[in-house]
Amino acid sequence: MTSRNHQLFEESQHYIPGGVNSPVRAFKSVGGEPVFFQRGEGAYFWDADGKQYIDYVGSWGPLILGHAHPEVVRAVQSTAQNGLTFGAPTASELEIAKLICQLVPSIEQVRLVSSGTEAGMSAIRLARGYTGRSKIIKFEGCYHGHDDSLLVKAGSGALTFGNPSSAGVPAETAGHTIVLDYNDVNGLEEAFNRWGKEIAAVIVEPVAGNMNLIAPKPEFLGGLRNLCTQNNSVLIFDEVMTGFRVGLGCAQALYQIKPDMTILGKVIGGGMPMAAFGGRRDIMQCLAPLGPVYQAGTLSGNPVAVAAGLATLKQVQQPDFYEVLSEKTRQLVEGLSASAKSHGIDFSAQSIGGMFGIYFSKQSPTSFSEVMQCDKDAFNRFFHAMLDEGIYFAPSAFEAGFVSIVHSDSDIEKTLMTSNKIFKNW
């Protein structure tokens, strides 16, 4: 009997490119066919065939409270009854803006948008408008949305401008982007020595999550801050993934580094499409209608999305929320590592807050090149074996994983017991 998942994927490919609306969903990295989901509750969701899974993706980070949290659902339902969108200001926009500024002190003013990509492209445009400069620095393996100037891979040499990593990105656009190695302070210093007065901004994931989880070296973020200050360049922290996921004050509070601008998303929308960018008042006031940098969005500050975000941010402010979340995540990664190593498998894992990374390598990587040296085939084998047992990890060796506050001790115990069985028969 043909599964409903298979039927849906077959038909989707006739109407949707690749059968999916975001590439990683297609399972191209791990092989096989994607799973179509129809319902979620707490730490679990169910596919189109009715099979239940423990979810360690959480819609790629937003679901820090788990699926269909009652308070979030109640807020969405209540707000939707009064109208889905107005294209005009609402009091709830002010409420969430004030809350973001209170929780993240580096943000003095904030603008709401509808996606992380929109936030990233707007922050880059604003930094260029504020500084009057064109060049930006990004780091290999970090993803900041699919804006042309950010879909850029490293050039052929350590100090060359980037090359387009997607068809449709003009070479002259990529030519304004300098791509460096994550965690490489020396390379950063060389770039600033060469182009410092031309660099509008440096954009970075303070904890990388788009080449699996890569923690920053202590000197890396501090070096970034110092070089941007010395050269009057704008330091942009992309906290779309880390914002309110690794701690209440985001990664910048965890590492005690104050960026000039911050990009937020995922958790602040509570599972609804919402993101934001904000920062120093003098920079933000260069935005229209006050300044010459134009940015607009019909659905920006959508009241239903804002309601979901406010309900989520209310929950994460509860006492010991992040301590409990971090401990759950730590138990998961330490258990997976112990299980793999007990069977002689090269494996490592690490976590920061509610984010984690697993790697089929002896040590956790610190850069894109080290991530690429991990055993991708081993990950794919592990992924499918766990999937068969009803445990859903990210369908790519190059993506971070996420734990929610509602993952129970029994969920983690089941995950570890399953992994041990798989590693035993490895």
Question: pLDDT per residue over 359-388, tens digit each?
Answer: 999 999 999 999 999 999 999 999 999 999
* Contact (Cβ atoms closer than 8 angstroms) between residue 113 and residue 297: yes
Encoded amino acid at 281, one letter:
R
Domain co-membership, 35 together with 78: no
* pLDDT, the chain, mean: 95
Strand partners, 234: 201
Cα gap 397→380, rounded to integer Å: 7
The reply to whether 53 belongs to the active site is no
Domain co-membership, 63 together with 84: no
Query: Of 287, 316, 345, at which residue does a domain stop?
Result: 316
Cα gap 309→307, rounded to integer Å: 5
Nearest to 337 by CA among 355, 353, 360, 371: 360
Single out the catalytic residue among 44, 130, 143, 392.
143
pLDDT class of 1 with cuts at 50, 70, 90? low
Average pLDDT for 75-91:
97
Is pLDDT of 222 > 90?
A: yes
Is pLDDT of 81 > 70?
A: yes
Domain co-membership, 113 together with 229: yes
Query: Of 316, 331, 354, at which residue does a domain stop?
Result: 316
Domain co-membership, 118 together with 46: no
- How many other CB atoms sit within 10 Å of the CB of residue 202? 27
Encoded amino acid at 230, one letter:
Q
Structural domain range at position 9: 4-68+319-424
Reported as a single tens digit per residue, the pLDDT across 130-139 is: 999 999 999 9
Is beta strand 355-359 parallel, antiparallel or unpaired with respect to 234-239?
unpaired
Domain co-membership, 285 together with 349: no
- pLDDT, position 167: 86
Tokens encoding 192: 């600033």
Q: Could you tell me how far CA 367 lies from the centroid of its own chain?
A: 17
pLDDT above 70 as % of the chain:
98
| 58 Rama sector, left if φ>0, alpha if ψ -120 to 50, beta otherwise | left
Average pLDDT for 97-126:
97
Going by C-beta distance under 8 Å and a sequence separation of 6 or more, which residues neighbour residue 413?
A: none
Average pLDDT for 62-74:
98
Reported as a single tens digit per residue, the pLDDT across 162-220 is: 677 888 888 877 788 999 999 999 999 999 999 999 999 999 999 999 999 999 998 99
Domain co-membership, 331 together with 418: yes
Query: Of 316, 341, 359, at which residue does a domain stop?
Result: 316
Domain co-membership, 179 together with 270: yes
Q: Which of 150-154, 165-169, 346-350 has the highest mean pLDDT?
A: 346-350
The reply to whether 143 belongs to the active site is yes
The reply to whether 266 belongs to the active site is yes
Single out the catalytic residue among 55, 181, 238, 411.
238
Strand partners, 261: 236, 279
Domain co-membership, 53 together with 79: no
Strand partners, 110: 278
Is pLDDT of 334 > 50?
A: yes
Reported as a single tens digit per residue, the pLDDT across 287-321 is: 999 999 999 999 999 999 999 999 999 999 999 99
Average pLDDT for 143-157:
74
Q: For the domain that residue 130 is a member of, what is the CATH number? A: 3.40.640.10
Tokens encoding 235: 């330091």
Average pLDDT for 387-392:
98
Domain co-membership, 220 together with 285: yes
Domain co-membership, 222 together with 302: yes
Q: Residue 39: phi, psi to the nearest 5?
A: -155, 145
Single out the catalytic residue among 53, 135, 147, 266.
266
Is pLDDT of 159 > 90?
A: no
Going by C-beta distance under 8 Å and a sequence separation of 6 or more, which residues neighbour residue 6?
A: 33
Domain count, the chain: 2
Q: For the domain that residue 328 is a member of, what is the CATH number? A: 3.90.1150.10
Domain co-membership, 193 together with 334: no
Instruction: Please name the helix (run of DSSP H) or strand (run of DSSP E) that holds residue 424, with its range, or none.
Output: helix 409-424
Cα gap 128→283, rounded to integer Å: 10
Domain co-membership, 265 together with 283: yes
Average pLDDT for 7-29:
95
Reported as a single tens digit per residue, the pLDDT across 267-283 is: 999 999 999 999 999 99
pTM of the model: 0.96
Residue 409 Cα distances to 10, 78, 288, 340, angstroms: 37, 33, 49, 20
